Structure 1
Amino acid sequence: MGQAREVMDRLTEALTTKPDVRVIAELFAEDAVAVTPEAGELHGRDEIVEYWRQMTDAIPEATYEPLHQYEIGSTAIDEGFFGGRNTGPLQLPDGQTMPATHKEVRIRGVDVATVVDGRIVSYRLYFDQMQFLEQLGLLPDFASA
């Protein structure tokens, strides 16, 4: 196992089985860039850590079920299912917060992390936002409309 794989595995653990924003902060370079479906492009460790803090607050007992794990040079790629119950407030893109829905989510996603000197310098997360919102009960019921 190479360095990229080790760092990605530590990040997954710090987001799910052992949530810890301090570990998350240690894993990202100070000038890292992350791209997410709902928050767009995040610049710097502080913005990235805040993004993940909000997610771990919203779904504090998250799980991750890996489907595929790859490492190519300094890049690790994971595909799998993120799941859990929304028991904490959800941060909305406009800065407002929404109370917990207490609904279960299970979404398939892909993470891509490039690691230099033991820290993530580039991170990309892909998942279906509509599926996430639907599972939280935050989309209108189009079937009854």
Structure 2
Amino acid sequence: MQAIDIVKQYASAFNAHNVPAVLELFGSTGTYTDPVAGNALHQADLGGYIHGLLGAFPDLQFELVRLAPAGDNLVVLEWIMHGTNTGPSPSGPASGRTLAMPGVDLITVDGDGIAHLVAYFDRMLYAEQMGLLPQEQAA
């Protein structure tokens, strides 16, 4: 199977909220990293991370903007994360606000699974959209 097909499976499983299918694509050695996750997450920790994200955004969907091979085993996935924060998150209680946050994943595939995924997104934009920043006072 080609790397781009594996990434399509990953995106489809994530959008279906099928956490076991996502984790299966990572296998026991694949890693996931993003600006919030901190250190690279392996399968067991990644499952908890995804469940937390889906708990905070039960309607979470990733709109696929662009999917492009960048070599034999590397795929670039550009996306926009959409969801409504109706559940608690590490940043606080549900805000009821909607999110439309762009980002990019660099996904390295090894065999029939994901060896490493690094996600990039703007944490400040997330904070702005979720109402986590202090409002400027009018003079």
- Verify same fold: TM over 0.5: yes
Pairwise CA distance, 1:129: 0.5
Helix, strand or coil for the counterpart of 2:46? helix
* 1:60-105 per-position Cα deviation (integer Å, ceiling 9, x unaligned): 212222222111311211112111111122135xxxxx32111100
- What's the Cα RMSD here? 1.7
Q: Is the 8 A contact 1:31 1:43 kept in 2?
A: no
Distance in 1 of aligned mates of 2:11 and 2:106 = 12
Following TM superposition, where does structure 1 have runs of at least 4 consecutive aligned residues deviating by more than 4 angstroms? none
Provide the identity percentage: 28
Aligned length: 137
Kindly tell me: are residues 3 and 53 of structure 1, through their superposed partners in 2, closer, same or farther at Cα, counting changes over 3 Å? farther
Helix, strand or coil for the counterpart of 1:82? strand
Pick one of 65, 68, 73 that aligns with 1:67: 65
Distance in 2 of aligned mates of 1:138 and 1:117 = 41
* 1:1-27 per-position Cα deviation (integer Å, ceiling 9, x unaligned): x522122122222222x1111111111
Could you tell me which runs of 5 or more consecutive residues in structure 2 were left unpaired when the two chains were aligned. none
Aligned partner letter, 1:25 = L
Match in the other structure for 1:82: 81
Select the structure that is richer in strand.
1
Could you tell me which runs of 5 or more consecutive residues in structure 1 were left unpaired when the two chains were aligned. 93-97
Match in the other structure for 1:122: 116
Pairwise CA distance, 1:59: 1.1
Stretch deviating more after TM superposition (3-12 or 129-138): 3-12
Distance in 1 of aligned mates of 2:9 and 2:51 = 16
